Amino acid sequence: MNPLNPLNPLNPLNPLNPLNHLNQSQRLRAVQAPVIPIVGRWTAETPGTISLGQGVVSYEPPAEAVQAVRRFGSTLSDHRYGPVEGLPPLVEALERKLAAENGIAVRPDSCVLVTAGGNQAFMNAVLAITDPDDEIILPTPYYFNHEMAIVMAGAKAIGAATTSDYQLDLDAIARAITPRTRAIVTVSPNNPTGAVYPESALRAVNTLCRARDLFHIHDEAYEYFTYGGVTPFSPGSIAGAAAHTISLYSLSKAYGMASWRMGYMVIPASLHEAVNKIQDTILICPPAASQHAALAALQVGRRHAEPHVARLDTMRHAIFDALSQADVPCDVPSAEGAFYYLVRVHSSSDSMTMSERLIKQHRVATIPGSAFADPSPCSVRISYGALDSESVIEGLKRLVEGLRALA
């Protein structure tokens, strides 16, 4: 269903939308209701549903991270406020990781800040660089929390179409720039599409930002999740990019630490004061226990994710093969990253209805593409990160049957 359709529960103007009650600010009225709880409700109402919905991984953090928290709390300083930007040993470990893995030399032109997850890092960035009615360009389909953060800050999210295989369209991005534009956002590997942008495309966006005096916000939450020899590229590593590039990271997926709320951001030195003000007000300091866990996780490093990524690759192939069969009424653009496919369904139903019916009639949960402002009339996002292989295969079987029956 079109997000602007008054019957769409996500439409902020729909009187049935639970967010539309007295006292809510105009700014918040304009923010879409998060879709995950709606899908969660349908799922809870349909016992036995297999969820290919939420974007989390099935594995736990390294044991070392949990042990670090068991040791935490023995000194008084563990219980006091810490530095706004994060505990020094963690910040130093992140700087080493950024240099070794992302090619980003942090100081002196930029700095690292530990945040309560990648979402908070994005919000910090938006608050630091926008005034009300400023614009931020999001290639569509986009990660809905990015759009929500922009609207919440009183700025405007401007969509820029991507190609049919969800790659960046530089012309569409350039056409979306106006005098009010402050930043272009890229997410690679991408949520919701699984697309990984090649180095050339990210360099082109970064050069465009530099030429037009814009920030390039690049989200690398899924940096460890690429397949088939594809490697992600960090635009923060480009010579001369530090002054206009904001890079965002998360431990939620890489280390299976979603509930620990740990992320970090690399910001230009010119934004240090602004971001410090925001973080000091919203968070004061990142949670100390989680920072100790994060430091221990970083010492284990990316090898923690590697065996899981290999298993996810097997799932990725299985899903692509099953949904590419001639009699399954959908298009599956290839996806070399994250753990998502955004599938276009050949149906006269809208995305919300399709997602609801797949749950209620076929007991498999997906996320409707309309939540990501996917322009195709009917699409669903499939996540294969959260479940063991057997459950993914069973969910896939139900999905294939459901699409055949409903489309």
- 188 lies in the site for ligand PLP, by CB under 6 A: no
Of 188, 206, 245, 250, the one binding ligand PLP by CB under 6 A: 250
Nearer to ligand PLP, 119 or 276 (CB): 119
In whole angstroms, the minimum distance from the beta carbon of 187 to ligand PLP comes to 5
Nearer to ligand PLP, 219 or 356 (CB): 219
- Please choose, from the candidates 353, 333, 369, 342, the residue with its C-alpha nearest in 3D space to the C-alpha of residue 406: 353
Nearer to ligand PLP, 266 or 403 (CB): 266
CA distance 2 to 8: 7
Of 43, 252, 276, 279, the one binding ligand PLP by CB under 6 A: 252
- 143 lies in the site for ligand PLP, by CB under 6 A: yes
Cβ–Cβ < 8 Å for 267, 108: no
- 140 lies in the site for ligand PLP, by CB under 6 A: no
Instruction: Say how many Å lie between the first and final Cα of the chain, rounded.
Output: 15
Of 12, 55, 232, 402, the one binding ligand PLP by CB under 6 A: 55
Of 106, 158, 187, 332, the one binding ligand PLP by CB under 6 A: 187
CA torsion sign for 151, 153, 156, 162 is: negative
In whole angstroms, the minimum distance from the beta carbon of 287 to ligand PLP comes to 13
Nearer to ligand PLP, 336 or 350 (CB): 336
CA distance 65 to 88: 17
Nearer to ligand PLP, 322 or 373 (CB): 373
DSSP string, 180-242: TEEEEEEESS-TTT-----HHHHHHHHHHHHHTT-EEEEE-TTTT-B-TT-----GGGSTT-T
Give the β-pairing of 135-140 and 156-161: parallel
E strand map for 43-130: 50-51, 110-115
In whole angstroms, the minimum distance from the beta carbon of 76 to ligand PLP comes to 29
What is the contact mask toward ligand PLP in residues 211 to 230, using x (rule: CB under 6 A)?
--------x-x---------
In whole angstroms, the minimum distance from the beta carbon of 384 to ligand PLP comes to 14
Q: What is residue 336's DSSP assignment?
A: -
Q: What is residue 337's DSSP assignment?
A: B
Helix/strand/coil for 127 = helix
In whole angstroms, the minimum distance from the beta carbon of 75 to ligand PLP comes to 28
- Please choose, from the candidates 266, 244, 99, 258, the residue with its C-alpha nearest in 3D space to the C-alpha of residue 183: 244
What is the contact mask toward ligand PLP in residues 94 to 123, using x (rule: CB under 6 A)?
-----------------------xxx----
| Residue ranges that bind ligand PLP, judged by CB under 6 A | 55, 117-119, 143, 187, 191, 219, 221, 250, 252, 258, 263
